[in-house]
Amino acid sequence: MFSSDTMPSTATVLSATASLAATAVLLRSIAADLIPGEVHDYFSSSLRKISRRLSSQLTVVIEESDGLSSNQMFEAANVYLGTKLSPSTYRIKVNKLDKDDELAVTVDRDQQIVDCFNSVKLTWISESTFVKQLADKADRRRTNAKTELKYFELSFHKRHKDMVLKSYLPHVIQRAKAIKEERKAVRLHTVDYNGTDYWSSVALNHPATFDTMAMAESEKEELIEDLNRFVGQREYYRRVGKAWKRGYLFYGPPGTGKSSLVASMANYLKFDVYDLDLREVQCNSDLRRLLIGSANRSILVIEDIDCNVGLQRRDSDTCLVEDDKVKLDNIIHRFDRING
């Protein structure tokens, strides 16, 4: 124990502390000057390796690309984490594409996001580094240009490695797909032979929905159930080796709601609509190009199919009439073979 007479004064303690701090700074400066940078980096790297080996955490690095193509896992994480922002997040990025209805919010670099999956804590952090570009070998000029390499670091306890790789990361990919579909603006595509892909598009701003359609409730529910079943069976179609498609035949006089029903289906499924006028198709090869140019998860609309592609009666210029159901079935089957 110290008596009050032998206790150092506050000024003495502060003076000693300042002297120690100054000495530490001086020693650090001397060490930096005397110890070669390679030796310093070697010891720093060794200490980091020892620290990582003793740590119970595992870190998964997800880079933006492999140098040749983009990394789907990075893109999915970018979309997914935009929905996991917390009050502590202080930097975000916002993007708006013409084809999207909503703003796309993503995290900026050096931002930490904490997620929870199956009661497991998972910590994400967005990072980036700059990599020097190689010198131009063609003219042997040196370049100081740098490329920014973006990546995510996902940290969690080592014992959850299998769960993260087999369950959590696939969950992130699926959720990112669903988020993109929710943000997607439905578009109407029409044939454009002057374009490079045969299709041009505009936003489909049709207000029709299943809530506004004048249909018998039982028929409406039956159609919605059929659409949901079809969308949910994509993996089954792939497994049995069949094309993932579903056909509907709408018939009736003009103004009975056929186009509005198509718009309702498109708005419900968030599927783009491709309006195909077969009178503009010159041959089967044109038809194949148009079908190949249409995107997946879309609705292909063919109006007046019984009046097109040379399928009129051979002895008349008129279209098939309602009584010619057998011939109409043959037409649909024939088109289905071309489309398949």
CA neighbours closer than 13 Å in the CB half-sphere of residue 58: 10
Please give the pLDDT value at position 293: 83
User: In this predicted model, what pLDDT tens digit does every residue of 193-211 receive, in sequence order?
Assistant: 776 667 888 888 888 999 9
The residues, ordered by sequence, that sit 6+ positions from 53 with a Cβ below 8 Å of its Cβ are none
Pick the more confident residue, 5 or 83: 83
User: In this predicted model, what pLDDT tens digit does every residue of 56-111 receive, in sequence order?
Assistant: 889 999 998 876 678 899 999 988 988 888 777 777 777 766 656 667 777 777 78
Do residues 106 and 92 touch, judged by C-beta distance below 8 A? yes
Please give the pLDDT value at position 143: 55
**Mean pLDDT taken over the chain:** 77
Do residues 178 and 80 touch, judged by C-beta distance below 8 A? no
Over residues 166-177, the mean pLDDT reads: 94
Please give the pLDDT value at position 252: 85
CA neighbours closer than 13 Å in the CB half-sphere of residue 148: 5
Please give the pLDDT value at position 40: 58
Please give the pLDDT value at position 61: 93
How many angstroms separate the CA atoms of 71 and 50, rounded?
A: 31
The residues, ordered by sequence, that sit 6+ positions from 130 with a Cβ below 8 Å of its Cβ are 146, 147, 148, 149
Q: Which amino acid is at 2?
A: F
This model's pTM is above 0.75 = no
User: In this predicted model, what pLDDT tens digit does every residue of 249-269 receive, in sequence order?
Assistant: 888 888 888 999 999 999 999
Please give the pLDDT value at position 262: 93
Assign residue 314 a region (left: φ > 0; alpha: ψ between -120 and 50; beta: otherwise): alpha
CA 92 to chain centre: 18
Pick the more confident residue, 24 or 59: 59
How many angstroms separate the CA atoms of 221 and 212, rounded?
A: 13
The DSSP 8-state label assigned to residue 165 in this structure reads I
User: In this predicted model, what pLDDT tens digit does every residue of 219-241 receive, in sequence order?
Assistant: 999 999 999 999 999 889 889 99
Domain ranges of the chain: 43-183, 187-339
Confidence band of 338 (pLDDT split at 50, 70, 90):
very low
pLDDT of 135 higher than 90: no
Please give the pLDDT value at position 230: 92
Q: In terms of CATH architecture, what is 187-339?
A: 3-Layer(aba) Sandwich (3.40)
pLDDT of 3 higher than 60: no
Confidence band of 319 (pLDDT split at 50, 70, 90):
very low
